[in-house]
Amino acid sequence: MNTAISRAAAYTYDLPRGKIAQRPCHPADAARMLVANPETETITDSCFKDVDEFLKAGDILVFNNSRVIPARLLGKQAGREIEILLLEENSPLIWRAIGRPLKKIKPGTEIDFSAGLSGRLKERLSEREILIEFNIEGGAVAFKEWLNKKGLMPIPPYIRAGRSDNQDRSDYQTFFAEIDGSAAAPTASLHFTPSLFEAIKKKGVEIEYVTLHVGPPSFLPLIEGPGNTLSMPGTERYYHDPDLLKRLIQASSSGRRIIAVGTTVVRTLESMALNKGSEAGWRRTDLFITPGYSFKVVRALVTNFHQPGTSHLLLVQALTGLKLLDKLYKHALNSNYRFLSYGDGMFITSIFKG
């Protein structure tokens, strides 16, 4: 369901570079949290360590347990530096990827990544994507070891120009991450700690997990189409879990609140609902949630502050309505909240019914 939306309908704002967080808070749950109630259009300043004060027994928090892989590789070809970002494994040594600069590199070209690893550009899949085949003595096992030792965490370019360090290996990973596959972190979850989970559970709140491997739709620009419209730049893989979907729908029908932690969780749950007759297994989604969307499962959202003109911000606009969203972002900017992946976040406690 990759439906286009007019650019004119999308909320936008000016984001000064100085508002973009370059490191996360330590401890993670010390980050500030702006609480928004779409029903009353009220907002409250708080912090994540106190999130349990805004939860009630019976609520269900749903997290994305996908694990970020050290997907950024630096190599050389004919003396120039080549940057590769791994997106998805086709087979253990063949990956879909994006890279730069690749315009002048033809299929068959070899790239040296040092320490015994090389790659061959196998095929161009699109203007953005390539298929790359890796070669290393020891095969797939050795490649995975190389990646874990030499690969770089794929932090966004607005954080220290994308140059990660060892600290990012823990900072840019949720403590409960389990299933390898993401090329970016589900950043709303970064605010949660083991002790915060314990406090939440003591409140009588249930915790569930979905898996969506974060890929291009979460970090590439929206595609501009005819009539100044916007659409999603590709698909992401998620695990379709009909048993979880059934439990959540039953819980929601009994009045319990389903709270998605992050926009990737929203897209996963809503994609599951739209494919509710499917058997369990891996699926792809290009679901583009925009203002006017009718939510099937999600009733509240924990999320970060997003870049203008992104699918994430349009999804949040669908939850809050334009008036409250504008109020939230103006308040956050004026109150020195920290923005984007390593920044602060907000808790939208219900859905706007405008």
Residue length of the chain: 354
Q: Looking at domain 72-151, which CATH architecture does it have?
A: Beta Barrel (2.40)
Tens digit of each residue's pLDDT (9 = 90 or more) over 14-57: 999 999 999 999 999 999 999 999 999 999 999 999 999 999 99
Sign of the Cα torsion 199, 200, 204, 206 reads negative
- pLDDT for the residue numbered 127: 81
5-68+173-348 has which fold? QueA-like (3.40.1780)
Contact 172, 185 (CB under 8 A): yes
Within the chain, residue ranges assigned H as helices are 139-150, 168-171, 194-202, 216-219, 242-253, 263-274, 311-320, 322-334
CA atoms within 13 A on the CB side of 298: 33
What is the residue-averaged pLDDT of the chain? Answer: 94
The ranges assigned to domains in the chain are 5-68+173-348, 72-151
Q: What angle is formed at CA 168 by the lines to CA 133 and CA 93, rounded to 5 degrees?
A: 10
- The answer to pTM > 0.75 is yes
Is residue 353 very low, low, confident or very high in pLDDT (cuts 50, 70, 90)? confident
* Count of CB atoms situated within 10 Å of the CB of 114: 12
* 209: CB partners within 8 A, 6+ apart: 62, 63, 64, 65, 176, 178
Residue type, 342: Y
pLDDT in tens, 300-324: 999 999 999 899 999 999 999 999 9
